[in-house]
């Protein structure tokens, strides 16, 4: 079974105590998945819907968009997204061309991009796992916990795993 780890939005602009706390688990996952790792990075384009609707201009500067310094030495592929979904046409093509069958998700905003990615992959009939202890929400622990609980219903309880479980299973 071809597998892939998507590391979502672990960027300097999302740096916080919560995102720093999950770095060790993400690094364990990256070591385990070896070359089967892709970084999904958010970029807020000028005059974007985020800017027009939410008046949010962050992530238009490279200092926000850059991968967290702890992850920059890893030479893996990056795909940029400009909305809540990370499943851009470029990433979908990569998944199709590499015949990926199982995708594990980690990173920030369990309640936003992680949940959206999990549901998008599920809708495309791609097996997905959310690595709960390698995800967080910058909206707080309550938002993270609520998202994990919701995902147990949405993609199935057996698809919410820990770093230890993922490294044993795959």
pLDDT for 1:
62
109 contacts: CB under 8 Å, gap ≥ 6: 8, 9, 14, 136, 137, 138, 139
Q: Which residues of the chain carry a pLDDT beneath 70?
A: 1, 75, 170
Dist. CA 5–CA 70, nearest whole Å: 17
Other Cβ atoms closer than 10 A to 165: 15
pLDDT digits (tens, 9 = 90+) for 62-96: 999 999 999 988 767 999 999 999 999 999 999 99
Domains and CATH numbers, the chain: 3-169 (3.40.50.850)
């Amino acid at each position: 079974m071809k597998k892939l780890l998507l590391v979502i939005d672990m960027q300097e602009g999302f740096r916080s105590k919560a995102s720093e706390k999950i770095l060790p688990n993400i690094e364990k996952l990256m070591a385990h998945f070896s070359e089967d790792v892709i970084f999904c990075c958010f970029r807020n384009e000028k005059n974007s819907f985020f800017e027009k609707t939410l008046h949010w201009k962050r992530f238009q500067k490279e200092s926000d968009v850059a991968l967290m310094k702890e992850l920059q030495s890893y030479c893996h592929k990056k795909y940029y997204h400009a909305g809540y979904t990370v499943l851009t046409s470029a990433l979908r093509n990569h998944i199709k061309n590499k015949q990926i069958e199982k995708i594990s998700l980690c990173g920030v905003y369990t309640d936003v991009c992680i949940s959206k990615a999990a549901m998008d992959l599920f809708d495309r009939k791609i097996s997905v796992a959310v690595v709960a202890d390698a995800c967080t929400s910058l909206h707080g622990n309550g938002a993270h916990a609520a998202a994990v609980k919701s995902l147990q219903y949405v993609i199935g309880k057996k698809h919410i795993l820990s770093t230890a479980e993922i490294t044993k299973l795959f």
